Amino acid sequence: MYYEIRTYRLKVGALPNYLALVGEQGIAIQRAHLGHLVGYFQSDIGPQNQIVHIWAFQSLDERDRRRATLAADPAWQAFLPHIQALIEEMDSKVMRPASFSPLP
């Protein structure tokens, strides 16, 4: 299993609007294409204005295929500019669990 961990630093004050947009429109589009959402988080203590979402994939090929179908979806293309305007910095990494990890 591979886990994609995406971290976004939002503009100051943009968090409520970002969460509303994703909750009302974006997450349904993402779930339809990306599959297994492990979690979607907002910062509370520590660096502020951050969103972290984690998606699980069976393989890197599956991740690439699912990301490509999401990117090609007209609904996602129409939605994306709304949240891009709220994001200052993006980071994405793909991780594999250690053999002793509680997640497979």
Q: What domains are defined for the chain? A: 2-95 (3.30.70.100)
Pick the closest to residue 26 from 83, 96, 67 (CA basis).
83
Scanning 7-102, the segments in alpha helix (DSSP H) are 15-21, 27-34, 60-72, 74-84
The Cα–Cα gap between 29 and 25 comes to 7
User: How much is the pLDDT for 104?
Assistant: 76
Percent of the chain with pLDDT over 70: 100
Q: What pLDDT score does 41 carry?
A: 97
Using CA of residue 29, residue 34, residue 40, residue 43, what is the dihedral sign? negative
What single letter denotes the amino acid at residue 75? A
The DSSP 8-state label assigned to residue 11 in this structure reads P
Angle at CA 74, nearest 5°, toward 86 and 78? Answer: 25
Q: Average pLDDT, stretch 25-44?
A: 95
* pLDDT value for 30: 96
Q: Is the pLDDT of residue 39 over 80?
A: yes
What sign results for the dihedral spanned by CA atoms 54, 38, 79, 86?
negative
Q: What does the block give as tokens for 18?
A: 């970002």
Q: Give the pLDDT band of residue 7 (cuts 50, 70, 90).
A: very high
